[in-house]
Amino acid sequence: MAIRNAAKGVIIHEGKLLLNRCMMDGELYYTLPGGGQNQYEDMKDAVVRECSEETGYTVIPDRFMALYEYVWDNLELREKYPDHAHTVYHVFLCHLADENQHPPTELDSNQTGVEWFNLDALDGVSLIPERLADHIKDFLIDGIPKFHGTEHVEN
């Protein structure tokens, strides 16, 4: 098993946050755009590429925002998906390079599209991971990068 690095983007434009809209088992939830880092790719290039693939927007990373990790404790899932069983997420605050959106080329699993949310309306949104969702507004206010811990998941 390898530890996977991934880059996520908190994309802010005109007071709104861009999220991936996802559906699983009839349940609607949202995630930050982003995904796995390729070998020899630097993290900022990874967030630009992943955000473009999933949202159709070209972004510019402004600064590092947060770090968190996700560990599957389920041994069966670890064996079935060894490259995804332990992921370290590097989160960057980003802005749009321009407002032109091209068609996304590689949607995330369960992703059905993208949606812009007013920052003041995030409280009722099912954003995964929850531990990061709770701190986006805090970062936008104080600008201090934080480690948000490790989430252990059984299923």
pLDDT in tens, 40-72: 999 999 999 999 999 999 999 999 999 999 898
The pTM of this model reads 0.91
pLDDT in tens, 69-124: 989 898 888 888 888 889 999 999 999 999 999 999 999 889 999 999 998 888 88
Residue of 138, 137, 134 lying closest to 126 (CA atoms): 134
- The CATH number of 4-153 is 3.90.79.10
Determine the Cα–Cα distance for residues 70 and 84; give it in Å rounded to an integer: 9
Angle at the Cα of 121 (from 119 to 123), degrees rounded to 5? 105
The secondary structure of 7-42 as a DSSP string is EEEEEEETTEEEEEEEEETTEEEEE-SEEEPPTT--
Domain ranges of the chain: 4-153
Strands 16-24, 86-96: pairing kind: unpaired
Tokens for 30, please give them. 């949202």
